[in-house]
Amino acid sequence: MLGNHQEHMMHYYDTWASVGRNKTFKVMLSLVINFDYIPYQFDVETAFLHGKMDALVYVKQVKGYEVKGKENWVWRLQKSLYGTKQAPRMWKAKLIATLNNLGLASAKSDESLFVNSDKTILLHIHVDDGFIISKSEKAIIVFLDKLNKTLKLKFKKRPTQHLGYNLKWCDNELKINQMDLIVKLLRQFGMEECKSVKTPCNGNFLNKIGCKSSHAIIKVTLFQQAIRSLYYLAHHTRPDVLFTVNQLSKYSTKPSQSHWNALKHLFCYLNGTKDKSLVYRQQSIKEALTQWADEDYANDSEDRKSITGYVILAFSNPICHASHQPILFNDNSGEVTISKQASLNANTKHIEVRYQYVRDCVMKKLIKVVQVSTNDMIADVLTKPLGVVKLQEVYKQLHLEDSGGVLKAEENHLG
């Protein structure tokens, strides 16, 4: 199917379809560990073929399989095919309608999270891969049987792989990693035999990569491919390398030899820590959400921009992390004027409302703001290079531990 031949507003209209958020999936994993939910995974076979076409699309008959006597006829598509531009959207519409008929509604915070009326079943869907949890295994089985009557499913209890994650279930504990992805990247970039190092970057990392160099490396595309893959890894399961990847990504358009050397250093670190896993444990103190935030003020010698990092924990298990330089845009000349004047007035009360809202939340004890020392700051690794000793402390704070060997799922995947 050649979807690139389709014309907008003739053969297709809207194409966007939401996908599941990885942080939502991690919250569900934390619920499983902390509150004894039972997890099941399911996969919808030939998912895109379930969606109904929303436009007139005709296709030629497959060569060698033409209907006898009607060889010159064309087919009108009733259902979406893989390759058509609207297929993901039509499938998502079919899925939502089916789940609604079975009593599940989409959550406001994540369109791909579905919950039943009494909130005893939670279902997370990413395209055609589903993850469902409940305290009642019978409720899950009954629901999947009903869903299977409309959509053909394959399902499994306590999956060992889901959405690219390797999952190792133990008593009151879950280990999550992407070791197979790391092994694949090491092979792809010829670093599988490299000597391991103990930190993702050197202490003078920012100064080294910030030095201007006229010697740009030839393989710019290769550098960009590595950064893309490493960012995916860092964003999902390896917060300890996110700062390094983000800093290197600033030089993706014209990387020099120093940037390539820093990238190889990062691969050496990953080679020695490829079995590091995010470990979710059952916690005695079950605070719903905790956020740790840190900022490294103007430490980048090249542009003196600050770096902000944060980690969010759900029931004391890490579900989300980020590292970035704050960037502000505005389309209002009034905002520029306000930024140059200290006084607030009736025209700027919307700004004060936000400040007062935070204070109000603190007063109502909806949130609690606490100052944390640098030594105890979990988000430190997201804003600056760390030495070996400090990095070891961060491992404990972020629940990053050795997985205890290659996971069985990884061995099967790699062959």
- Are 84 and 200 in the same domain? no
Enclosing domain of residue 28: 3-61+74-159
Average pLDDT value for residue range 29-35: 96
Any idea what the CATH number is for the domain that residue 28 is in?
3.30.70
Which tens digit of pLDDT belongs to each residue from 204-260?
A: 766 667 666 556 676 899 999 999 999 999 999 999 999 999 999 999 998 988 899
Split into its structural domains, the chain has a count of 2
User: Residue 237 contacts by C-beta under 8 Å, 6 or more apart in sequence?
Assistant: 165, 176, 177, 178, 277, 278
Residue 184, token pair as written in the block: 């694949």
pLDDT tens-digit map of 258-299: 899 999 999 999 999 999 999 999 987 767 889 999 988 766
314 and 199 assigned to the same domain: yes
The model's confidence at residue 414, banded by pLDDT at 50, 70 and 90, is: very low
Q: Is residue 286 part of a domain?
A: yes
Any bridge partners for residue 132, and if so which? 40, 123
What is the chain's percent helix, strand, coil content, to nearest 5? 40, 20, 40
Query: Is residue 131 a part of any domain in this protein?
Result: yes
With 50 as the cut, is the pLDDT of residue 409 above it? no
290, part of any domain? yes
What pLDDT score was predicted for residue 269? Answer: 98
Three-state DSSP at 401 gives: strand
- Residues 78 and 199 placed together within one structural domain of the fold: no
Same-domain check for residues 222 and 368 = yes
Is the model's pLDDT at 353 over the cut of 80? no
pLDDT given at position 303: 65
Q: Within this chain, do residues 197 and 106 fall inside the same structural domain, yes or no?
A: no
In this structure, is residue 170 part of a structural domain? Answer: no
pLDDT in tens, 196-213: 999 999 877 666 676 665
Q: Let me know if residue 42 belongs to a domain.
A: yes
φ/ψ (deg, to 5) at 136: -110, 110
pLDDT at 211 (0 to 100):
62
Phi and psi, residue 58, nearest 5°: -115, 145
**CA-based R_g, the chain, Å:** 25
Average pLDDT, the chain: 87
What pLDDT was estimated at residue 410? 37
Same domain (yes/no): 129, 263: no
Q: Which of 110, 125, 159 is the last residue of a domain?
A: 159
Whether the pLDDT of residue 361 is over 70: the answer is yes
The model's pLDDT over 321-346, given as tens digits with 9 standing for 90+, comes to 999 887 655 555 665 555 555 555 56
Quick one: 307 and 351 in the same domain?
A: yes
Same-domain status, 117 and 193: no
Within this chain, do residues 128 and 217 fall inside the same structural domain, yes or no? Answer: no
164 assigned to some structural domain: no
Query: 34 lies in a domain?
Result: yes
